[in-house]
Structure 1
């Protein structure tokens, strides 16, 4: 058996493992996870779960590596030992859309809706929701599509159409854009409040979404001229008799499991008789969705996936505050790695990531600047497969800041004009990985007993002058 220190910051996780199998060719590793979390003081100080690494790999692959194995384990630690099987089933049936998939779906949908544009055709893109919500996030992905690059001169992006004025010689098509259709009520309300009175300004009013619930799509279908959501991305309620996530009509225990925690993670609706009804315990207005995106989860999805209420550790967060928390933890881990590189790194690493000079009297010290920190983090994240928007979320920076940091990285020869690592940048990255791995190796094989306070019985060799 061996023990691995996974995180040495506020939340310390000791991961020990041993092999248990009669057949050495099919050995699987069982993890014994012990966490002590100062970040969540109301939780038990010690939580222990047993799960094999094959299961973790399967869940991670199902979630398209949007969630790290350690975060999956932390999420599983929300539940009781005998409930882990239900949690694994829920995570294994969660559909996650990556940034690349979102871009491709939007691009494909718009090409279907607009196979050909005439000279006087203009497309108005209007994201549903306020700035920072899912609609405006999808607008970012839309701007990355080939459709936008090809027709950008015929596209007008408006946060609201209230003050829109149409020109007589133009044919305007209005496209409402959102990532997810849940109950459909918010989209219907938005249409009635902001669009309905202006319908005469547009040749047609369309809706483009990445995914949605069957009931919600059916609700909004009559109010649009056309709706474009891939049929394979329209889902039934997780605990409906029509669905088959957990086997034919074999969902009652899973529903009770999710509802048990859902009532703790959502606020009840108070009826006229002052009784409480937890209509959001299985997602907003009982949506029962099992859908998330790389940039966050809709509130229609089961709250056990995204909530952070009552010290709950989310699998894929929804709220901006959750993302800030994740960003803080990531920045701490980057600071820890840079401290190792500062102490044990090569000359090249010192030259690239410790450019800030500090003078104290006659002595001079090199330190990490904000740019050094950001460049190292971007290199690490990009090599792990994160996209631009995910990197910005992790670091808590704007897109324009990201682009400025990359420009400095290019000046140092770390990135090329395509924003990819150069051979020199790759060499620096590999050098850093080796250094960190070498210095962490001392921690990997320390047993949990190493960190315990040991009692020492001191017996003097001489007492009262006698040996």
Structure 2
């Protein structure tokens, strides 16, 4: 197959992705603008532009429609179904649907859903869709600052759990990559919550979770339930030895050379994490943002030493 044939084949696939999966938010001219930043070469394995287009053709993108469907699965499969199983077991294995429904409604009334991070971050952003898609009451939701009350008593401040009737706290996020954010959250919120209310159950539920990240969170033993709708194993690290996209044996696409390209450009865009945060190596993005665990060549806009036009722009956290 000639170089032109390979490029045509890639663009045929990318056009389909642009018209369907990407909802035309990332057009062929946009792809061309992004791809033009990579150098070309006569030999296909040496052509950085072809390497980039191949990675792009394997990029996993979730639009608003898909995110809403995943949030239905998160509630139904990771919270509601396990709760009903627990209730049925507690009621001696009953098949009485009315009794199960009544007990579940009682559990739901004593449950609060929260986003991971502050109200401006993606975890909280998802709660709006989560509430709509699962027909939940606004009273079922909290911001993290509403968990505790600070009581001033004779000049000394004490902290207590604001609502002692809450039995389940369910933290929701889009992605658990390295597990760093959930670990920090557990230290700052879950530990004091458990100390003040040992009977509270704390859930950490995400749309996507890497196998290593989820395991790291489970090993903290701070959350009572840790789960994801979709688990991302090591084969999703696109440039690793076990990469699923280079497992086909297609001679046109060389993993080692693509890794070299991504390392070199990534080092100019994000020197401390050239392949994504903590070596994430992911090819994943959402309509509301692109995780920093994804390769920087897709989302970086202004690098440490290089200006760059992103394919899937990332909106960074701004501290100040």
TM-score using structure 1 length: 0.51
Cα offset, 1:255, TM superposition: 1.1
| Residue pair 1:89, 1:246 contacting (<8 A) in 2 also | no
Match of 2:228 in 1: 229
Instruction: Pick from 255, 258, 263 the counterpart of residue 259 of structure 2.
Output: 255
Cα offset, 1:154, TM superposition: 5.5
Cα distance, 1:56–1:111 mapped onto 2, change above 3 Å: closer
| Residue pair 1:173, 1:203 contacting (<8 A) in 2 also | yes
Instruction: Pick from 300, 305, 308 the counterpart of residue 293 of structure 2.
Output: 300
Cα offset, 1:171, TM superposition: 4.3
The one-character-per-residue Cα deviations of 1:96-133 (angstroms, maximum 9, x if unpaired) are 11112112212222122124524264222221123322
| Residue pair 2:39, 2:48 contacting (<8 A) in 1 also | yes
Structure-2 separation of matches of 1:320 and 1:192: 23
Structure-2 separation of matches of 1:282 and 1:317: 16
Match of 1:184 in 2: 179
Cα distance, 1:185–1:313 mapped onto 2, change above 3 Å: same
Cα offset, 1:70, TM superposition: 1.9
The yes-or-no answer on 1:245 pairing with 2:245 is yes
Cα offset, 1:209, TM superposition: 1.0
Deviates more, 1:56-65 or 1:219-228: 56-65
The yes-or-no answer on 1:156 pairing with 2:141 is yes
| Structure 1 stretches lacking a partner, 5+ long | 1-28, 31-48, 269-277, 322-467
Cα distance, 1:53–1:162 mapped onto 2, change above 3 Å: same
| Residue pair 1:305, 1:314 contacting (<8 A) in 2 also | yes
Q: Which has the higher contact order (CA 8 A, sep 6+)?
A: 2
Structure-1 separation of matches of 2:231 and 2:55: 19
The yes-or-no answer on 1:264 pairing with 2:268 is yes
| Residue pair 2:209, 2:230 contacting (<8 A) in 1 also | no
After the TM superposition, which residues 11-160 of structure 1 pair with which residues of structure 2 at under 5 Å, given as runs?
54-60=12-18, 63-65=21-23, 66-81=25-40, 82-112=47-77, 113-115=79-81, 116=84, 117-119=104-106, 121-145=109-133, 147=134, 149=135, 151-152=136-137, 155-160=140-145
Structure-1 separation of matches of 2:177 and 2:29: 30
After the TM superposition, which residues 405-416 of structure 1 pair with which residues of structure 2 at under 5 Å, given as runs?
none
Cα offset, 1:252, TM superposition: 1.5
Cα offset, 1:314, TM superposition: 0.6
Cα distance, 1:101–1:56 mapped onto 2, change above 3 Å: closer
Cα offset, 1:166, TM superposition: 4.7
Cα distance, 1:98–1:263 mapped onto 2, change above 3 Å: same
Cα distance, 1:262–1:153 mapped onto 2, change above 3 Å: closer
Cα distance, 1:264–1:88 mapped onto 2, change above 3 Å: same
Cα offset, 1:264, TM superposition: 0.8
Match of 2:87 in 1: none
Deviates more, 1:84-93 or 1:211-220: 211-220
Structure-2 separation of matches of 1:220 and 1:96: 25
The yes-or-no answer on 1:174 pairing with 2:137 is no
Cα distance, 1:86–1:209 mapped onto 2, change above 3 Å: same
SS of 1:238's partner is coil
Cα distance, 1:52–1:285 mapped onto 2, change above 3 Å: closer
Cα distance, 1:130–1:152 mapped onto 2, change above 3 Å: same
Aligned length: 260
Cα offset, 1:181, TM superposition: 0.9
SS of 2:167's partner is strand
The one-character-per-residue Cα deviations of 1:394-414 (angstroms, maximum 9, x if unpaired) are xxxxxxxxxxxxxxxxxxxxx
| Residue pair 2:178, 2:212 contacting (<8 A) in 1 also | yes
TM-score using structure 2 length: 0.72
Where in structure 1 do 4 or more consecutive aligned residues deviate above 6 Å?
A: 49-52
RMSD over aligned Cα atoms = 2.9
| Residue pair 1:211, 1:234 contacting (<8 A) in 2 also | no
